């Protein structure tokens, strides 16, 4: 038997075997390169920890940076696929990993600019890894189960990478400190009375170390001091019959986030919220998959909406919005599965999630009540097919969790407020400070078009959902009703609020829970014939998400004028151009603003009509 050189043996192999060998070699090279990059990075981390003058926010962030690199690599290795696109993507991920060394260059810039420098490099690292992982979802895993796991894991990695930077470079504000204070009381005192917690100033532990630099000419240290002072004087509490300070916000969120808070304080609560946000992202994919019948369209809905404002913003903001949106979406998904299978376990799950919504926030009655109403109408409409007793049993299965939840809530309020009325804390504060007015047209336009607090100025990609909802109403009336009625009821209710802008809060707060179910409609109208429009809309939202990730304080309103956003201050100071002025300021409410509003409404209607007509017959091939 003659000897053959290794090169000859390799060439003699079948083509498929040669490709597999090359691909496996590529994977081995990626693993080696990733380990080498991160090993060198660990060496630099150790040096930074050994030098006393490298203190503060940067030292605490470096382990999180390392974790992001390692988790991204671990996902790509675990879900490795041998096709050519995946090979290119793992190579791209290795290149993105090299950005970690640029972080050390931020330590050599003037102290006033270090925060922004570190933030933008770290945001580039997050979005770079995120782009690779999202693209890999289209090229790598093929089975539905594997895709679900990938969607959840990728979403969690990206959200959890953002949270520690938000905790480091900003502090809780608005309603966030109130929720954290109750979590603190439940953890340390095992009660709902916040009197001693505010007296002891427990809220100070939620703040990072003094931050360098300024924003719009205002020192960040002074801004942090003003926030601490404001929290000390505005407790977000009401007195109950025992003279205890009870949070007037509902207690569901602090109870839900208590495990995370008990493990790691504020950042632990944020990571737990990241998990809920990842479940919401998974729900977007799954529900879009169910409605469109296409795995690829489900992935597009997830990719376009899960990593842009407002869902990305609120994934690390300790408001109840993401929790309410997640509960509403999964309740709708389980209801839809019941429609198709008639399995009562799905129906019970939907009722259980709907029953939990009022615990999170009184506003979510609009979501839970209208969703269960549509389910009840469906059951009654189909009772001739299943029989009267079966329909009554279905209604009982759907309604029992809500009744049990209300009974438990009434018992809780009877103990702490002396009344059987659920959401008693909110009713007390509303009796002192009326919340509603008779101009819902202003609230509605503001919720969607206001340059500071509206949805479309920060996420114009939601135009696709309006077009998709139109298509769904013509083709899948029950499915469309199950999603649109709760969303429309909730948004319509919030339009009557004189505080439709949400107070001191990031943009679009009061629509987040309602629009969480809407991205699935985009799966019905995504079409390659208007891919340039989709790309432009998505890039706008991603750019805003990138800036607000790099500089988290830009999420909040302007310090100088609450009718403007911190993003506006940032753009004017650093870019010298405020692109947000192309949208109206409904909150300001001048004649020119209403004229701009009319123009934008016309453009929205024309765009939606064009998208609907263009994507009249969506198929897998026209993506």
User: And the tokens for 225?
Assistant: 């001091």
The predicted structure's pLDDT at residue 106: 85
User: And the tokens for 168?
Assistant: 């480091």
Residue 494 CA: distances (Å) to CA of 95, 441, 623: 46, 11, 36
In angstroms, rounded to a whole number, what is the distance separating the alpha carbons of residues 277 and 279?
Answer: 5
Cβ-in-10-Å burial (0-12, 13-18, 19+) of 253 comes to buried
User: And the tokens for 142?
Assistant: 């093929």
The predicted structure's pLDDT at residue 270: 98
Q: Are 221 and 210 in contact (CB under 8 A)?
A: yes
| Pairing mode of beta strands 214-215, 237-239 | unpaired
User: And the tokens for 396?
Assistant: 């009982």
Tokens 């506003």 belong to: 363
- Cα 304 → chain centroid: 12
- Kindly report, residue by residue over 113-155, the tens digit of the pLDDT: 888 999 999 999 999 999 999 999 998 777 899 999 999 999 9
Q: Closest Cα to residue 458, out of 525, 533, 363, 546?
A: 546
User: And the tokens for 77?
Assistant: 């290795």
The predicted structure's pLDDT at residue 459: 96
Q: Closest Cα to residue 206, out of 270, 252, 161?
A: 270
CB atoms within 10 A of CB 604: 16
Helix (H, G, I), strand (E, B) or coil at 242: coil
In angstroms, rounded to a whole number, what is the distance separating the alpha carbons of residues 554 and 313?
Answer: 11
Tokens 């009796």 belong to: 431
Peptide bond into 391 cis (omega under 30): no
Q: Closest Cα to residue 515, out of 464, 442, 549, 556?
A: 464
DSSP bridge pairs for 565: 557
Helix (H, G, I), strand (E, B) or coil at 111: helix
In angstroms, rounded to a whole number, what is the distance separating the alpha carbons of residues 501 and 503?
Answer: 6
User: And the tokens for 195?
Assistant: 């009197």
Tokens 């505005």 belong to: 234
User: And the tokens for 550?
Assistant: 């790099």
The predicted structure's pLDDT at residue 105: 86
Q: Are 356 and 313 in contact (CB under 8 A)?
A: no
Q: Closest Cα to residue 336, out of 293, 400, 305?
A: 293
The predicted structure's pLDDT at residue 48: 81
CB atoms within 10 A of CB 348: 18
Beta carbons within 8 Å of 246's beta carbon, 6+ residues apart: 192, 193, 194, 237, 238, 239, 240, 416, 417, 425
The predicted structure's pLDDT at residue 1: 45
Beta carbons within 8 Å of 182's beta carbon, 6+ residues apart: 192, 194, 247, 249, 251, 254
Helix (H, G, I), strand (E, B) or coil at 564: coil
CB atoms within 10 A of CB 531: 12
DSSP bridge pairs for 214: 219
In angstroms, rounded to a whole number, what is the distance separating the alpha carbons of residues 511 and 275?
Answer: 21
The predicted structure's pLDDT at residue 85: 85
The predicted structure's pLDDT at residue 622: 58
User: And the tokens for 38?
Assistant: 């991160």
Helix (H, G, I), strand (E, B) or coil at 215: strand
- Return the exposure string of 361-387: e unless at least 16 CB atoms fall within 10 Å of the residue's CB, then b: bbbbbbbbbbbbebbeebbeeebeeee
Q: Closest Cα to residue 276, out of 309, 247, 318?
A: 318
Q: Are 29 and 76 in contact (CB under 8 A)?
A: no
Give the residue extent of every domain in the chain: 14-155, 176-247, 252-622
In angstroms, rounded to a whole number, what is the distance separating the alpha carbons of residues 223 and 115?
Answer: 15
The predicted structure's pLDDT at residue 271: 98
Cβ-in-10-Å burial (0-12, 13-18, 19+) of 589 comes to middle
- Kindly report, residue by residue over 480-539, the tens digit of the pLDDT: 999 999 999 999 999 999 999 998 999 999 999 999 999 999 999 988 788 889 999 999
Indicate left, alpha or beta for 509 from its phi (over 0: left) and psi (-120 to 50: alpha): alpha
Ranges of residues in the chain whose predicted pLDDT is under 70: 1-25, 52-57, 383-386, 616-623
Q: How many residues does the chain have?
A: 623
């Amino acid at each position: 038997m003659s000897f053959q050189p290794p090169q000859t043996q390799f060439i003699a192999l079948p083509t498929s075997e040669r490709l597999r060998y090359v691909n496996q070699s590529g994977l081995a090279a990626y693993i080696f390169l990733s380990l080498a990059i991160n090993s060198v990075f660990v060496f630099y981390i150790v040096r930074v920890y050994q030098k006393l003058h490298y203190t503060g926010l940067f030292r605490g962030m470096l382990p999180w940076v390392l974790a992001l690199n390692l988790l991204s690599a671990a996902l790509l290795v675990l879900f490795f696929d041998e096709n050519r696109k995946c090979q290119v993507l793992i190579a791209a991920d290795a290149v993105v990993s090299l950005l970690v060394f640029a972080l050390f260059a931020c330590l050599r810039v003037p102290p006033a600019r270090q925060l922004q420098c570190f933030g933008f490099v770290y945001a580039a690292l997050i979005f770079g890894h995120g782009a690779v992982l999202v693209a890999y979802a289209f090229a790598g895993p093929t089975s539905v189960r594997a895709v679900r796991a990938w969607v959840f894991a990728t979403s969690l990695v990206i959200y959890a990478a953002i949270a520690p930077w938000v905790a480091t470079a900003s502090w809780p504000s608005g309603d966030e400190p109130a929720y954290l204070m109750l979590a603190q009381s439940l953890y340390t005192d095992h009660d709902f009375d916040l009197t001693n917690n505010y007296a002891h100033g427990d809220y100070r532990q939620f703040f990072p170390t003094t931050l360098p630099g300024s924003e719009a000419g205002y020192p960040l240290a002074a801004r942090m001091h003003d926030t601490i002072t404001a929290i000390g004087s505005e407790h977000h509490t009401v007195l109950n019959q025992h003279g205890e300070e009870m949070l007037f916000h509902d207690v569901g969120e602090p109870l839900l986030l208590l495990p995370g808070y008990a493990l790691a304080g504020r950042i632990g609560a944020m990571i737990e919220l990241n998990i809920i946000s990842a479940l919401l992202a998974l729900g977007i994919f799954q529900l879009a998959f169910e409605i469109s019948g296409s795995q690829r369209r489900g992935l597009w809905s997830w990719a376009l909406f899960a990593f842009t404002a407002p869902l990305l913003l609120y994934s690390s903001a300790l408001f109840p919005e993401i929790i309410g949106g997640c509960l509403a979406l999964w309740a709708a998904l389980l209801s839809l599965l019941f429609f198709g299978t008639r399995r009562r376990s799905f129906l019970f799950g939907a009722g259980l999630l709907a029953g939990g919504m009022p615990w999170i926030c009184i506003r979510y009655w609009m979501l839970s009540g209208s969703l269960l109403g549509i389910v009840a109408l469906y059951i009654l409409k189909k009772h001739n097919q299943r029989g009267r007793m079966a329909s009554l049993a279905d209604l009982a299965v759907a309604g029992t969790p809500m009744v049990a939840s209300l009974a438990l809530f009434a018992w809780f309020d009877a103990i702490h407020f002396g009344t059987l009325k659920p959401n008693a804390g909110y009713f007390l504060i509303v009796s002192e400070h009326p919340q509603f007015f008779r101009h819902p047209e202003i609230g509605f336009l503001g919720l969607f078009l206001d340059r500071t607090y509206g949805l479309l100025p920060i996420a114009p990609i939601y135009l696709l959902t309006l077009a998709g909802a139109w298509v769904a109403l013509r083709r899948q009336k029950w499915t469309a009703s199950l999603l649109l009625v709760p969303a429309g009821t909730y948004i319509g209710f919030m339009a009557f609020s004189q505080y439709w802008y949400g107070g001191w809060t990031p943009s679009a707060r009061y629509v987040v829970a309602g629009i969480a179910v809407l991205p699935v409609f985009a799966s019905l109208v995504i079409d390659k014939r208007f891919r340039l429009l989709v790309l432009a809309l998505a890039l706008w939202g991603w750019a805003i998400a990138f800036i607000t990730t790099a500089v988290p304080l830009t999420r909040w309103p302007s310090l100088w004028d609450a009718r403007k956003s911190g993003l506006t201050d940032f753009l004017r100071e650093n870019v010298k151009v405020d692109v947000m002025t192309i949208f109206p300021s409904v909150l300001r409410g001048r004649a020119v603003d209403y004229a701009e509003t009319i123009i934008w409404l016309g453009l929205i209607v024309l765009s939606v009509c064009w998208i609907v007509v263009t994507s009249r017959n969506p198929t897998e091939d026209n993506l």
